[in-house]
Structure 1
């Protein structure tokens, strides 16, 4: 096993990785920006090293400084977490060249599956269903108009190198196409340095279903079931649960088998997620994309499967076989995760950085977990993502999980900054959500308009 790994991230995921490594007997190195000098992950790691100023491009995205920190501290591997450099194949390749293990898939596989156009082509080869769409990159509005006419409206414009909801636009009619394409392309260029787009027919209404997979260097690939991530705002997930109430036994077997087939086709190693859109009316599902990293919502899968995904990542990167085989994986109960952000839902979800003057996190009972890097007196910096915690619950059934989440959110108390805790409490208590009657349009088209009327 590794003696020491460096965590190239911050916040709750950095804390999560440090804890998993410590339980495996592995030493840890935290990196931090000058804005994160007092962050929890800095205090918890065995060593910590500053890699640059507050701006992420000069610190958490600074490949040279991060690799120099790994060399200086003798770290044998780098865990990228999610976001930042986690899906950057150049960084993974540099790690390989420097004989530092990147805890994730190879740069070759990241190139293949991280680019949405390449991934789509590979899934067609693998026999995994994909939505009708463009065959390659789309660079001009003239190309976009022609392709949209061929596949039919409504369509989705997506950045080829995108992620996190950036560079995505829905287009219902031809008149909306040109301004939407130009806006999405500009956003993609600014966010990823790549303005290449592609076009897909929009599956609507749809469920966003993703399957957690794990692979090792010996060729073993397993799945850990599915997550329903349909509650989204601006293409970003707000609440996730497992299993999905929209999927029965037969469809579950089909969609998880397709995910394993997809991962096997590219000889996938480490943790990854295959994302699908499910047309509930027809029961057909379509490959959307692959995330070649650990997901924000991985804890719900850990609860229902009993498998520690982060520990498996570290073991697999060390060359070990997966600790479980598919026949060993069993699923029990129901899990739900709510993302807690420092933001003001009543003011268009504006970020709310500041000093936490008092903090009480929910606790007590079996099946409750809070992943967070907060502590009383901590100042949330304004430079990074607004997510400050994740509340995850597990119950014997979905009703118990819903009630446990309501109880947890009622106990959650943060003073000094505005959070979306009350928003999440109203969402988890909404009759449609309680009934499992929602799709990807529900939050934006049904829940939010009513929620924003309240004040």
Structure 2
């Protein structure tokens, strides 16, 4: 097991990893920008190192400074959390060259799954069902029209190196295709420095289903069930739950088994999430995230397994602590992402939290690094906390969620709490009857 882990992140995920390390008796080091000097994870860590000014490029994305912090403190491993350098293959390679363990997959696997086109090819080779579309990058309008005609309109054009909805355009007819292709390539080049795009069939009313997987790096793989992340705004997840209200036990077992086998065959090490669009009983691969997800707590709630403990165990060479038959699913869990944003316009709302009170009681968990008097900096993601609720079934879970949202108090800034209070009382949400377009249509009606 590791002696000292450096946590290369901030906010609630840094605190989440820190707590796991303390439970395992591992010394902790956190890095921070000058803007985060008073953050909770900095206060609680065994050691902290300031690595630069507020801009991410000068601090949390500064590989040289993070490696230097490892060498100064004697950290023998780095947990990247999510975001920032968590899916940066170069970072993983540099750490390996310095004999520091990256708590995640190999640089090669990060590269394969970070390229959307190569990821789709790999998924297809591993037996994972994929969305019909181009086999690789599409550069010519003539080729795009041929592929679109074969798979049928509407189609979606996506950036190969993309994410977060950028470089993504829908074409409903051939007349739309030319401008959609040009716009997607332009956005992709500006956002990612790579204008390669590919084409897929655009599904009309899909769910977003993702499967949590783990590999030990030696040919063993397991899955921890699925999460439903269909409530999204601009391709950003807002509300996640496990298990999905849309799947039955047979579908859950089938797609989980496919994913676990694929991870084993790939020789993958650590945590990963294989994401799908699901429509009319069929799963279609969209991407794989080679890291811990923001929404991992709902999986922990229904399995009782600490996924960060598991990450550390696997990275240290200890292998998986469970076999597939050991993983049982208990009840239902929902996570709401509480952001420092206006609940209607979603404009960021940095500032000082004058009062912060979290809900409690059976089945309630809050992952947050903020506190009364804490000043939300304007430089980073607006997530200030996650409310995770667990119940014996979805009905009980929703009852607890409603009560927990009423108890949650964040004063001094605007947050998205009012949005969740509206959603928990909506009939479609109560019935689990929604798709990836539902939230944006709901918000449009509210304007």
CA distance, structure 1, for counterparts of residue 347 and residue 141 of structure 2: 32
Quote the residue 1:356 is aligned against: 353
2:402 maps to which of 406, 409, 413: 406
Say if 1:343 and 1:351, in contact at 8 Å, map to a contact too: yes
What's the CA shift string for 1:109-168, capped at 9, x where partnerless? 111122111111111111221111111123455554443333321112222122233322
Count of matched residue positions in the alignment of Structure 1 and Structure 2: 447
Stretch deviating more after TM superposition (365-374 or 139-148):
139-148
Helix, strand or coil for the counterpart of 1:344? Answer: coil
Consecutive unaligned residues in structure 2, runs of 5 or more: none
Consecutive unaligned residues in structure 1, runs of 5 or more: none
1:22 is the counterpart of 2:22: yes
Say if 1:155 and 1:170, in contact at 8 Å, map to a contact too: yes
- Per the normalisation by structure 2, the TM-score is 0.97
Say if 2:428 and 2:434, in contact at 8 Å, map to a contact too: yes
- CA offset at residue 184 of structure 1? 3.1
- CA offset at residue 199 of structure 1? 1.3
CA distance 1:141–1:95, shift in 2 (3 Å): farther
Quote the residue 2:411 is aligned against: 415
Quote the residue 1:265 is aligned against: 265
Say if 2:343 and 2:417, in contact at 8 Å, map to a contact too: no
Q: CA RMSD in A?
A: 1.4
CA distance, structure 1, for counterparts of residue 443 and residue 38 of structure 2: 36
Q: How does 1:11-410 map to 2 (within 5 A)?
A: 11-139=11-139, 141=141, 143-280=143-280, 283-347=281-345, 349-363=346-360, 365-410=361-406
CA distance, structure 2, for counterparts of residue 73 and residue 140 of structure 1: 52
CA distance 1:189–1:28, shift in 2 (3 Å): farther
Say if 2:218 and 2:267, in contact at 8 Å, map to a contact too: no
- CA offset at residue 40 of structure 1? 1.3
1:431 is the counterpart of 2:421: no
CA distance 1:350–1:172, shift in 2 (3 Å): same
- CA offset at residue 253 of structure 1? 1.3
What's the CA shift string for 1:223-250, capped at 9, x where partnerless? 1001011111111111000011111121
- CA offset at residue 310 of structure 1? 0.6
1:450 is the counterpart of 2:445: yes
Say if 1:139 and 1:195, in contact at 8 Å, map to a contact too: no
- CA offset at residue 449 of structure 1? 2.1
Helix, strand or coil for the counterpart of 1:392? Answer: strand
- CA offset at residue 450 of structure 1? 2.6
CA distance, structure 2, for counterparts of residue 220 and residue 389 of structure 1: 34
Say if 1:141 and 1:182, in contact at 8 Å, map to a contact too: no
